[in-house]
Amino acid sequence: MSNRIVSNSSFAVNSNYEQIVSINNTSAINQNLTEVGGTAIYLGQTTATASLPVVIASDQSAVPISSSTALDVDLTNVGGTSFSLGANTSASSISVTLATDESTLEVDLDSVGGTAFSLGSTTSASSIPVVIASDQGAISVSFTNADNSGSEGNLSNSQSVVSGDNSTELDVRKARNITITGTTTDTSGNPININAAHTALGNKYPINYSIYPDANGYFYEKLENIAINYLTLEYNVTATVTATAIFN
């Protein structure tokens, strides 16, 4: 190791013999920053790896952003949850609220519970259920009595019959109430059977009614709230019969 001779009367040094330079300057010292951590740095926009890291202050106020053109934003996440267009569940949708001054929204109701819905008279299964309010006032109802159908002797018109004969068949598909009247030359009280058919001139089925003429041969039977398609009378004895059915 060579000897070093330093005189502190010429310039100041520290214990490692490093020169101490005193700078007395009240003005700024210009520095040209060319490297950071051994990596060259330049002015102007560049990549993240070639830029100085900075941090926004915790009390930084909102930073205004302006642009001469519209900013395109591709919204892919909300609150950390992925977001996409199209119908979705509530949990995957953005919550919104209508403004207090929002005008009336028009709604076109086309389905209820997944079932198509339209205006006009329809079946119960395709209708919306409603309930009358507990304080609903009296509701006026008007109706028009339907005219009766049927003419004199439309079943039998002075028809000569023997046991097993049938009257003329009547279409009563639109009827719920049927009144049968008539006369017979049989005054012995033999029954007259009432038969129903599902189709015109089809198989005849007896219903739970029979007509018993009185001692003068007059008879009358009223069928209420009955649903049959075609009606005939079946006679059980030799006689001459006139029978009429009036219905509505």
Angle at 86 between CA 83 and CA 88, to 5 degrees: 70
Residue 48 has phi, psi (to 5 degrees) of -65, -40
Predicted confidence (pLDDT) at residue 19 exceeds the cutoff of 90: no
What is the pLDDT confidence band of residue 23, given thresholds at 50, 70 and 90?
low
What residue type is assigned to position 187 of the chain? T
**Hey, which of 2-11, 26-35, 121-130 has the most confident mean pLDDT?**
121-130
Predicted confidence (pLDDT) at residue 139 exceeds the cutoff of 90: no
Please report the pLDDT score of residue 241 as a whole number.
96
Predicted confidence (pLDDT) at residue 9 exceeds the cutoff of 80: no
Name the residue among 229, 191, 238 with its Cα closest to residue 210. Answer: 191
Domain chopping of the chain, boundaries: 156-247
Predicted confidence (pLDDT) at residue 162 exceeds the cutoff of 80: yes
- When mean pLDDT is compared across 136-140, 190-194, 215-219, the lowest value belongs to 136-140
Tokens of 129: 């259920």
Angle at 8 between CA 2 and CA 14, to 5 degrees: 70
Strands (E), the chain: 35-36, 39-40, 77-78, 81-82, 111-112, 115-116, 156-161, 170-171, 178-184, 192-197, 204-211, 218-223, 230-234, 239-247
3-state class of 180 per DSSP?
strand
pTM above 0.85, yes or no: no
State the fold for domain 156-247: Jelly Rolls (2.60.120)
